[in-house]
Amino acid sequence: MRTAFGVETVRAAERELMARLPEGALMQRAAAGLAAACAELLGKVYGSRVVLLVGSGDNGGDALYAGARLARRGAGVAVVLLAPERTHAGGLRALRAAGGRVSAAPERDIAGARLVLDGIVGIGGRGGLRPEAARLAGLAAASGAFVVAVDLPSGVEADTGEVRGPAVRADATVTFGAYKPGLLVDPAQERTGAVRLIDIGLDLPATADLEALQYADVAALLPVPGAGSDKYRRGVVGIAAGSARYPGAAVLAVAGALRGGAGAVRYVGPAADAVIDRYPETLVHAGPPSKAGRVQAWVVGPGLGDDAERVRDVLAADVPVLVDADGLRLADRATVRARTAPTLLTPHAGEAAALLGVDRAEVEAARLASVRRLAEAYGATVLLKGSTTLVAAPGGRPVRVNPTGTSWLATAGSGDVLSGLAGSLLAAGLSPVDAASAAAFLHGLAARLAARGAPVGAQDVAEGVRGAWREVVAG
C-alpha cells in the first residue's frame, strides 16, 4: 500500500524526530537524497548548469544544501533568491563555500540551465505562487530545463491536491519523509512529474490520510473460486440498467460484471434482448428487480433513463447496492442514508456536482474535499471518477486513490463497465471500499493494456479486464 500524509502529520513526525537528532540533520538527509536524485537525472554532474529557485523557508534550505552538494561535484550552480533577507542562512553559506553563486541575471541563468530546482515553497506554502515566484516558474517552464520540485511543486496545496493559482510544473518531484496527498490527486498530481520519495526516517502513524492500492494489495482482494465453490457461492450480481433508448449501457454493465468474479449475472430491465444477444450466459428477468431472484449485490443506474421505480425497488433490497449514472439522479438521499446494507455511489464530476449543488469545475478543482463531503452527506461509500479516481467512506477513514488509469478511459460507456465490475466484486463479498478500489484499479489497468497509446472503446476496456486481472495476480 502506498500511503500519503497531510502536512500536520508530517510536521509532527518531523518535530518528534528533530528532537532526537543533531540540529540540521533532517535537512541534510533531505538534501542528500535530493542531490543524489538530481545527479542521477543529470547523468554528468560536472559542468552542468543548475539554477536553484529559493524562497524564504526550509524548502529553499533543502535546495541550497542540495545545490552545494552538486557544486562540490563540479556543477555550475546559481541561485535566484526570492526573499534575499529571509533566505536560509546556513544553506546559502554552504552553497557559497562550495563555489555556488547568487544569480545577477536570473533570466539568463534560467534560460541556460539544464536543471532548475524549485525550492520556492514546500509544505509551508499557502495558495498559488505570488507574482515574482510565478514569473520565475514561467521562465523555468519556457527554458527547456528539467524542473525538479523540492518536496512538492510550489503553488500546489499539499493536503488537497488543489491548485488555486499559478504553480510550478515539474518534470520530477523529490519528496521527503512521506507522500503528501497533493502528489497523488489532480489537478496537483498532473504537475509533479515522476515522484521519488526520500526516506528521512520519519515515524508516521498507522492510519494515513490517503492510500493507493498496489498490485499485491489488489491481488489479495480478488476473489478466487475454491474447490467447493458453485455459481451461487461465488455470488450473484444483479444489474438494473439500460432502457429502450440506452440498451448499450446494460450490455456494457453486464460485460463488466461478467469479468468481476461473481458466479452469475442477473439482468433486469428492457434491454434483455440486447444483453442476451451479446452475453447469452446472463440470467434475464422482465419484472421488477425484487422479483428477479436472489442476488448478493445490485448495480442500478447505467442508461436507466427516468425509471425511478426501479431505483426505489433496488434500494429496498437488503444487499449491497451500487448506484451509478441515472440512478444517482433518481436515488433519494434519505432513502440511501436509511439503508442498513452498504451503498456505493459512483459519480463522475458532473454527477457529483449535481448531488452537492456546486459547479462541476469546483468538484474537479477540489476532488478530495468533494468525495469526502459526498460520502458524509449520503452515509455511503463514494467512488468519484475522472482524472484521479478517489474512493471515500463516511467516518474519516483514509481515502483511496487509484494509481492506474489513463485518459483514454474518457470514452462513452467505460463507466458502465466499471459499475458492473465493481458490482460483481461486491457480490463476491468485498467491502464497498475494497470493491470500488479494486474495480477502479483493474479498470484503469485494463484500459492501459487495451489502449497501449491508441484510442479504446468501452468494450475494449471490458475485454481488457481479464488481462489486467492476470497481471495483478502475477504481480
Of the candidate spans 115-123, 251-259, 346-354, 359-367, the one that interacts with ligand NAX by CB under 6 A turns out to be: 115-123
Q: How far apart are CA 472 and CA 466, in angstroms?
A: 10
Contact partner, 415, from ligand NAX, ligand ADP, K ion, none, Cβ < 5-8 Å per class:
ligand ADP
Residue 343, annotated as binding a ligand: no
Q: Please select the residue that binds K ion; options are 110, 150, 456, 462, rule is CB under 5 A.
A: 150
Closer to ligand NAX by Cβ: residue 118 or 326: 118
Under rule CB under 5 A, how many of the chain's residues touch K ion? 4
Strands 101-102 and 146-150: unpaired
How many residues are given for the chain?
475
* Cα distance between the two ends of the chain: 14
Closer to ligand NAX by Cβ: residue 151 or 209: 151
Of the candidate spans 118-126, 297-305, 312-320, 344-352, the one that interacts with ligand NAX by CB under 6 A turns out to be: 118-126
From residue 14 to residue 53, the character string flagging contacts with ligand NAX as x (rule: CB under 6 A) and all else as - is x---x-------xx--x-----------------------
Residue 231, annotated as binding a ligand: no
Helix axis angle for 7-18 and 25-42, nearest 10°, is: 120
Q: Which cell numbers in the block locate residue 404?
A: 492506474
Closer to ligand NAX by Cβ: residue 14 or 326: 14
Contact partner, 118, from ligand ADP, ligand NAX, K ion, none, Cβ < 5-8 Å per class:
K ion
Residue 154, annotated as binding a ligand: yes
Contact partner, 125, from ligand ADP, ligand NAX, K ion, none, Cβ < 5-8 Å per class:
ligand NAX
Strands 210-212 and 399-401: parallel
Q: How far apart are CA 224 and CA 221, in angstroms?
A: 9
Contact partner, 56, from ligand ADP, K ion, ligand NAX, none, Cβ < 5-8 Å per class:
ligand NAX
Q: Which cell numbers in the block locate residue 327?
A: 440512478
Residue 301, annotated as binding a ligand: no
Judged by CB under 6 A, does residue 127 bind ligand NAX?
Answer: yes
Q: How far apart are CA 374 and CA 425, in angstroms?
A: 22
Judged by CB under 5 A, does residue 116 bind K ion?
Answer: no
Q: Is the four-CA dihedral 136, 138, 142, 145 of positive or negative sign?
A: positive
Q: How far apart are CA 254 and CA 236, in angstroms?
A: 12
Q: How far apart are CA 198 and CA 285, in angstroms?
A: 56
Residue 207, annotated as binding a ligand: no
Contact partner, 14, from ligand ADP, ligand NAX, K ion, none, Cβ < 5-8 Å per class:
ligand NAX
Contact partner, 387, from K ion, ligand NAX, ligand ADP, none, Cβ < 5-8 Å per class:
ligand ADP
Which residues contribute to the site for ligand ADP (CB under 6 A)? 325, 348, 385-387, 389, 405-407, 409-410, 412-416, 418, 443
Q: Which amino acid is located at 353 in the chain?
A: A
Confirm if 161 and 189 have CB atoms less than 8 A apart. yes
Q: How far apart are CA 399 and CA 160, in angstroms?
A: 11
Contact partner, 260, from K ion, ligand ADP, ligand NAX, none, Cβ < 5-8 Å per class:
none
239 has which bridge partners? 267, 299
Q: How far apart are CA 107 and CA 112, in angstroms?
A: 9
Q: How far apart are CA 200 and CA 62, in angstroms?
A: 13
Residue 177, annotated as binding a ligand: no
Closer to ligand NAX by Cβ: residue 57 or 420: 57
Question: Cell 428487480 sits at which residue?
Answer: 289
Judged by CB under 6 A, does residue 133 bind ligand NAX?
Answer: yes
Contact partner, 407, from ligand ADP, ligand NAX, K ion, none, Cβ < 5-8 Å per class:
ligand ADP
With 0-12 CB in 10 A as exposed, 13-18 as middle and 19+ as buried, what is 254?
A: buried
Residue 437, annotated as binding a ligand: no
Closer to ligand NAX by Cβ: residue 163 or 427: 163
Contact partner, 409, from ligand NAX, K ion, ligand ADP, none, Cβ < 5-8 Å per class:
ligand ADP
Closer to ligand NAX by Cβ: residue 99 or 127: 127
Which of 71, 121, 120, 61 lies closest to 92, judged by CA? Answer: 61
Residue 119, annotated as binding a ligand: no
Of the candidate spans 122-130, 229-237, 396-404, 441-449, the one that interacts with ligand NAX by CB under 6 A turns out to be: 122-130
Judged by CB under 5 A, does residue 154 bind K ion?
Answer: yes
Contact partner, 348, from K ion, ligand NAX, ligand ADP, none, Cβ < 5-8 Å per class:
ligand ADP
Confirm if 188 and 128 have CB atoms less than 8 A apart. no
Q: Is the four-CA dihedral 205, 211, 213, 214 of positive or negative sign?
A: negative
Distance in Å, CB of 324 to ligand ADP, minimum: 7
Residue 128, annotated as binding a ligand: yes
Q: Which cell numbers in the block locate residue 150?
A: 523540492
Q: Which residues contact 456 (CB under 8 A, 6 or more apart)?
A: 408, 409, 411, 447, 450, 464
Q: How far apart are CA 475 and CA 473, in angstroms?
A: 5
Which residues bind to K ion, rule: CB under 5 A? 118, 149-150, 154
Residue ranges that bind ligand NAX, judged by CB under 6 A: 14, 18, 26-27, 30, 55-60, 62, 120-130, 133, 150-151, 176, 200
